[in-house]
Amino acid sequence: MIRAKTAEISGEVVRLDALPDPADFRDRMYLPNLDEVPVERTLAAWQDVHIPVFHQGTEGSCTGFALMTAAHFLLRTRRVGPDPTVVSPRMFYEMAKRYDEWPGEDYEGSSARGAMKGWHKHGVCSADAWPYVEGATDRELTTSRALDALKRPLGAYFRVNQRDLVSLHSAITEAGVIFATAMIHEGWREPNADGYIAQAKPTIGGHAFVLVGYNADGFWVQNSWGAGWGLQGCALITYDDWLENAMDTWVARLGVPVNVHTAGGTAAAISPVVPNIQAQPLDNARRFLISIERDGTLQRTGTFATTEADVARIFNDDIPTLTRTWPRKRLLLYAHAGLTSEEKAVERAMEFGTAMAGQGVYPLVFLWRTDFWTVVAKILQEALDRRQYATDCFDHNDRFMLERLDTALEPLVRTLNGRMLWEESKSIGTLAMRNEEAAVRVVLKYLLKFLAENPDTELHMVAHSAGAVFFAPLVQMLTTPAGAKIEVPPLRGRSGLGHALKTCTLWAPALTLADFRRIYLPALERGDIGRFSLYTLSDRAERDDNCVGLYRKSFLYLVSNALEVDMRIPIIAPEGTPLLGMERHLLADPDMMALINQGKIEWVIAPNGFYEGSVDASGATSHDAFDRDQATFLSTLARIEGVT
């Protein structure tokens, strides 16, 4: 735990823990309007509103208490539907730590920007829903708290230039309150009889409070050190003091609470409130989602953070609640492709998870790597620029010329960090299994307990593209006989767990044939994978696909030819590294074709003409289309349900 600085105020120790906002050019800046600004905003006018004064105690949570004060003013002075609810400083503080720019949450304090982001993303719940108890370990944003928070959303919010007095006066006049942080000094210990803070040096730490008025000498502030400090909890900081020590200032207006009943509805699609507050993801996706950092640990910050408490809640509360009336308990482990942005991946996870749950299958969606498309696009563009190809000078329908262009790009993509970044992505699955604190191992702990308590539960797996690589270490440990030593990488020397997968379905897996033989095939041959289904594009569809419009074949062609161990070299090594997800490599491998012909691997080639609802149907026409193709979803579901 990284501790904040402390100071003794009125006989009590308080922590001075407000952190500065790092520079971020995405901040929207407040611009003064031309409304008349009064020559002063008196403290008496502020105190007439009767905004309660709180004491933050000894925990480092001044950002939570300061933002609570701002929220109380905005809620209680709202012209239509004023709200006297006491809101939760605990929620503000915990969400601030989740969204600030400092790594992890094992520290005291948070930034102003982090606090504003947290309010904007989630709203704020009542203090009754999430009480503030000093030193409490209850720091989980539960579903009930998240739903209550939606009643008090934040609308627009802007950063105010803390050194621009004109903007600050205008913002106070317009909004009534400013959320602020500054470095403070010994003068803050005891303001004088008039409530003025005497400027002093040196500073002793960072602190958060609100600006509530002004006069010719400085700004009136309301603090969170109790009503015994200053003038009933308020004091004046002089302009000289402010300009020397101010860190960050933010002004905001409340949003409108919105009820959205369907994630796919028009309101969800066009309302700025819904995606910002994440109403649907909080209530729906969180019960399905496991977010993982690139180092293999649980992602503890951000909109879709996952803590071990979240994992425990999923297995102890969410799964039992949702599956209570199901005739069969079926859990599905799902790994997405890792290609799209986090927002798009979560959107698809919501759709997939909700649809599966509606069919009696509870999905656990592993959000393990996002936006690899963007990485690929940058590398391909740099490679294209280096070759100085004028791609507009030849016919894009000329297959020969496009093939020559791809051949030129492949070695450059490999050398421009493409190979290194691909290996880094492939390693995340192993990192997520490396020790008891790693993300998938945390999930396994609760999964195994649930399976022991519910022995009739079926366990299924679906992975798309590189998701099959991510799941490989999990498959290896999960299906190796209990207590037996794993003899091959990536988990060589570890002990197996001895659990079977009833079905395993891979969509266009970016998995080498060598890794399939080493990891998946032994489980299949032992019967620890009951039904193995493989979906691939036809080779024609692979060649008609493209990578971000620059490489004129599918992503798997790029992986095979440029990113994997053995790259394609025309004439000398024309095939690159054989992949499980490519038709041409399967057809060229007699052993794989034998497994397919024996029915051990059920192979679906897309797109095909089977009717939607058939166990063999898939309408996917590109590598990234499998997870949004209705026919693929329905046929995968049929396989989980045991349809033949």
For 18-50, the pLDDT digits (tens) are 666 665 556 789 999 888 999 999 999 999 999
Token pair 């730490």 is at which residue?
205
pLDDT digits (tens, 9 = 90+) for 597-637: 999 999 999 999 999 989 999 999 999 999 999 999 999 99
Q: What is the rounded average pLDDT of the residues 110-124?
A: 90
pLDDT digits (tens, 9 = 90+) for 225-277: 999 999 999 999 999 999 999 999 999 999 988 665 444 443 333 333 333 43
pLDDT higher for 133 or 588? 588
In this prediction, residue 88 carries a pLDDT of 97
232 within domain boundaries: yes
Q: What is the rounded average pLDDT of the residues 411-427?
A: 89
Q: Does pLDDT of 282 surpass 90?
A: no
Contact, 290 vs 305, CB < 8 A?
A: no
On whether both 420 and 379 belong to a single domain, the answer is: yes
On whether both 301 and 242 belong to a single domain, the answer is: no
416 within domain boundaries: yes
In this prediction, residue 4 carries a pLDDT of 46
Closest CA to 67 of 87, 82, 83: 87
On whether both 435 and 332 belong to a single domain, the answer is: yes
On whether both 220 and 290 belong to a single domain, the answer is: no
In this prediction, residue 5 carries a pLDDT of 57
In this prediction, residue 85 carries a pLDDT of 97
266 within domain boundaries: no
In this prediction, residue 45 carries a pLDDT of 96
CA distance 601 to 593: 9
Domain at 98, CATH number:
3.90.70.10
Q: Where are the alpha helices (DSSP H) in 254-318?
A: 266-270, 273-277, 279-283, 308-313
On whether both 304 and 240 belong to a single domain, the answer is: no
263 within domain boundaries: no
pTM: 0.73
DSSP string, 111-139: BHHHHHHHHHHH---BTTTS---TT----
The dihedral sign for the CA sequence 494, 496, 497, 499: positive
pLDDT higher for 266 or 456? 456
In this prediction, residue 569 carries a pLDDT of 74
In this prediction, residue 14 carries a pLDDT of 61
Q: pLDDT confidence of 10, banded at 50, 70, 90?
A: low
Q: pLDDT confidence of 449, banded at 50, 70, 90?
A: very high
Q: What is the rounded average pLDDT of the residues 466-472?
A: 97
The overall average pLDDT reported for the chain is 87
User: CB burial class (10 A; 0-12, 13-18, 19+) of residue 36?
Assistant: exposed
In this prediction, residue 106 carries a pLDDT of 42
On whether both 449 and 590 belong to a single domain, the answer is: yes
Q: Does pLDDT of 554 surpass 90?
A: yes
Q: pLDDT confidence of 574, banded at 50, 70, 90?
A: confident
Closest CA to 162 of 43, 70, 242: 242
First-to-final CA distance of the chain: 55
Q: pLDDT confidence of 281, banded at 50, 70, 90?
A: very low
270 within domain boundaries: no
On whether both 145 and 195 belong to a single domain, the answer is: yes
Q: Which domain holds residue 351?
A: 278-640
CA distance 498 to 519: 14
CA angle 624, 630, 634 (to 5 degrees): 115
pLDDT higher for 328 or 12? 328
On whether both 164 and 304 belong to a single domain, the answer is: no
Q: pLDDT confidence of 8, banded at 50, 70, 90?
A: low
On whether both 178 and 316 belong to a single domain, the answer is: no
pLDDT digits (tens, 9 = 90+) for 346-395: 888 888 888 999 999 999 999 997 778 788 888 888 877 765 544 444 44
1 within domain boundaries: no
Each residue of 372-400: b (16+ CB within 10 Å) or e? Answer: bbebbbebbeebbeeeebeeeeeeeeeee
Q: Point out the domain boundary residue: 203, 220, 254.
A: 254
pLDDT digits (tens, 9 = 90+) for 486-529: 999 999 999 999 999 999 999 999 999 999 999 999 999 999 99
On whether both 544 and 507 belong to a single domain, the answer is: yes
269 within domain boundaries: no
Q: Where are the alpha helices (DSSP H) in 480-614?
A: 513-515, 521-526, 539-544, 555-558, 583-587, 590-597
Quick count: other Cβ atoms within 10 Å of Cβ 439? 27
Q: What is the rounded average pLDDT of the residues 125-134?
A: 94
In this prediction, residue 12 carries a pLDDT of 59
Range with lowest mean pLDDT among 275-289, 446-460, 569-583: 275-289
CA distance 62 to 55: 9
pLDDT digits (tens, 9 = 90+) for 59-106: 778 999 999 999 999 999 999 999 999 999 999 999 988 887 544 444
80 within domain boundaries: yes
The one-letter code for the residue type at 40 is E
Q: What is the rounded average pLDDT of the residues 571-598?
A: 93
On whether both 518 and 416 belong to a single domain, the answer is: yes
Token pair 């503080």 is at which residue?
93
Quick count: other Cβ atoms within 10 Å of Cβ 219? 27
In this prediction, residue 11 carries a pLDDT of 55
On whether both 241 and 289 belong to a single domain, the answer is: no
In this prediction, residue 93 carries a pLDDT of 92
Q: What is the rounded average pLDDT of the residues 401-406?
A: 58
Q: pLDDT confidence of 200, banded at 50, 70, 90?
A: very high
Q: pLDDT confidence of 280, banded at 50, 70, 90?
A: very low
Number of domains, the chain: 2
Q: Does pLDDT of 7 surpass 70?
A: no
Q: Does pLDDT of 478 surpass 80?
A: yes
Q: Point out the domain boundary residue: 222, 254, 286.
A: 254
Q: Over pLDDT 70: what percentage of the chain?
A: 87
Q: pLDDT confidence of 400, banded at 50, 70, 90?
A: very low
